[in-house]
Structure 1
Amino acid sequence: MVADPLAPGVWGVVATPFTESTQDVDLASLAKLVGHYRRIGVTGLTVLGVFGEAARLSTAEKRAVLEVVVDSVDLPIVVGASSASPAPVIEEVELATDVVGDRLAGAMVQVNTADPDLLASQLDAVHAATGAGLVVQDYPLVTGTTISALNLAEAVEQVESVVAIKAEAPPTPPAIATLTARTGVPVFGGLGGVGLLDELAAGSAGAMTGFSFPEGLQLCVDAWWRGGYQAALEAYLRYLPLVNFEAQARIGLAIRKEALRRRGLISDSGVRAPAPGMPETLDKQLDRHVAAVENMKNGES
């Protein structure tokens, strides 16, 4: 069965909030956060991705997260699989299909080999076992696997069930240009939106990433479609200092969750070990960045 490709636009990557005292999953904050994504008009949500700390959640917690998202919003959903090997990936995707049902727009699986034929075989096995359309995530910083854009395209061309590619192997713009030209599959950028303008110019279908002001991603992509580079640049400029600030190695997740907390979208910004928290020395600068964006938004309202 050939799956429908993902719709273009912004697929918001959802954080998993935790309670301050016990670090249990904060389901109330999660419902509030995904409600914000719905209000700003994203195309869909990506849940249990790297930003959602899925690798640090139990199976019961993953189920609870999916249930809350499904019950809170009516958006299409991409669900991440945190494992690298096909057998546990299949179990994760089966959980997603069980909870999300026909709202599942795709299961996001990670590239775990540089061999295009082996990758295609593994993707086919996941689809055969689950029936899910697949979003192929190329994220070598997390997986440790490096594949060329040409080899990734070769693998995707063999697999009818691929509904999108998430390109997060820098430099992303030339990779996206190759993937869109070779596969005809929608390709989305990630990495916090740092390269969003250049990725759109290279042919990306939009953004699939976490950012504490996801409405900034939405404005940029919408402006690109309306008026091209100049319009998108003007829409995105106000957000770029914070995008860059959140992109700091190792602590980017903690910074982004703290920014979400300061916006009132989640109650606590804790991350689960071994992820490090945000250094207190960055408090004042984060305040400046968040206030700058908020002030510019308020000035236009």
Structure 2
Amino acid sequence: MTENTAAHRVEPLARGVWGVVATPFTDAGEIDDASLVRLVQFYESVGAAGLTVLGVFGEAAALTASERMQVLGVVAENSSLPIVAGVTSLATAPAIAEIENAQATVGDRLRAVMVQANSGSPAVVIDHLRRINEATGADVVLQDYPKSSGISISTDNLIAVVEASPFVSAVKAEAPPTAVAIARITARVGVSVFGGLGGQGLLDELAAGSAGAMTGFSVPEALVSCVTAWLAGDAEAARAELVPYLPLINFEQQPGIALALRKELFRRRGLFASAAVRAPAAGFPAELDAIAADHLAELDAQEVR
């Protein structure tokens, strides 16, 4: 990173846990505003640093443009937390349109927009982000999530993108091994780097220099307690806060059904009225009903102890 780029870089995104907001639906498939309000107010009550709305686990790709604005509006009206809005499109013009809609909906509550790396070539990504920033003025969280985007970019190329893009305030590193990528990025550029993937690698990511987590989990207060302890300099306490939840984190992150599991666990915790998902997402498998109940019962028993 050149001295000039470093001097003009936007402020890094705040450290902590940015809760990735799942979009609740009614059994009839409509957006459930009441459940959404409960979720975002719960995130705020447990100490989240901010909310990431319309991400992959927000099923943004299954929402219409007006529904996306509805979700953003409900979140903004019912929480005081800063908002990062996810951008679904990998192409520049529609990505700009999504961001302009988000800006019109939430105004200065929009802290940044989360844009996925849309090429393995740093030149292509740099141009994509530059055009987005010139058109909208928005700070960018650069997301590297090849499982969702289908795009793989090397860590060195990702760093080159960030070095050339002073409006990037954070990177969301979700290409395993995430701790390796986080260590390399934080050693080179002065942006916040967050892990995701439901918190599976959170302790290692924090040890590698992450600013926290930008992810969802059915017990987000566990992630907040862990990250808060770590950022306060108490690694032992951070580990103690997270370790009891690792079996549930592992259960929830099963490929292909992770979204359905999280929604069902939110329902069982009283945050969502329904665990409904939209196609092509898979629904909650009935075969896991008793296993999910056992996981939650074990956590309840630990709290009693």
TM-score, normalising length: structure 2: 0.96
Quick one: distance in 1 between partners of 2:265 and 2:17? Answer: 19
Map 1:203-242; keep pairs closer than 5 Å. Answer: 203-242=209-248
1:43 aligns with 2:56: no
Number of the residue aligned with 2:131: 125
Q: CA deviation at 1:117?
A: 1.6
Q: CA deviation at 1:294?
A: 2.9
Q: Any idea what the Cα deviations from partners look like across 1:69-106, whole Å, max 9, x if unmatched?
A: 01001110000001111111101111111111111111
Q: CA deviation at 1:2?
A: 4.9
Aligned-residue sequence identity (percent) comes to 54
Number of the residue aligned with 1:153: 159
Aligned partner (choices 10, 13, 21) of residue 20 of structure 2: 13
Number of the residue aligned with 1:74: 80
Number of the residue aligned with 1:244: 250
Aligned partner (choices 77, 87, 90) of residue 84 of structure 1: 90
Quick one: distance in 2 between partners of 1:124 and 1:227? Answer: 36
Q: Any idea what the Cα deviations from partners look like across 1:113-133, whole Å, max 9, x if unmatched?
A: 011122111101001111100
Quick one: distance in 1 between partners of 2:66 and 2:286? Answer: 33
Q: CA deviation at 1:4?
A: 2.5
1:143 aligns with 2:145: no
1:196 aligns with 2:196: no
Structure 2 gaps of 5+ residues are 1-7
Q: CA deviation at 1:227?
A: 4.1
Number of the residue aligned with 2:273: 267
Amino acid at match of 2:12: P
Contact 1:135/1:166 (8 A) holds in 2: yes
Number of the residue aligned with 2:192: 186
Amino acid at match of 1:143: S
Amino acid at match of 1:7: A
Amino acid at match of 1:231: A
TM-score, normalising length: structure 1: 0.97
Q: CA deviation at 1:287?
A: 0.6
Pairs aligned (count) = 298
1:275 aligned counterpart, secondary structure: coil
Q: CA deviation at 1:296?
A: 2.4
Number of the residue aligned with 1:102: 108
RMSD over equivalenced CA pairs, Å: 1.1
Q: CA deviation at 1:112?
A: 0.9
Amino acid at match of 1:146: S
Contact 2:12/2:190 (8 A) holds in 1: no
Contact 2:206/2:212 (8 A) holds in 1: yes
Quick one: distance in 2 between partners of 1:207 and 1:295? Answer: 26
Quick one: distance in 1 between partners of 2:238 and 2:140? Answer: 29
Number of the residue aligned with 1:115: 121
Contact 1:4/1:133 (8 A) holds in 2: no
Q: CA deviation at 1:225?
A: 2.1
Q: CA deviation at 1:199?
A: 0.2
Contact 2:116/2:144 (8 A) holds in 1: yes
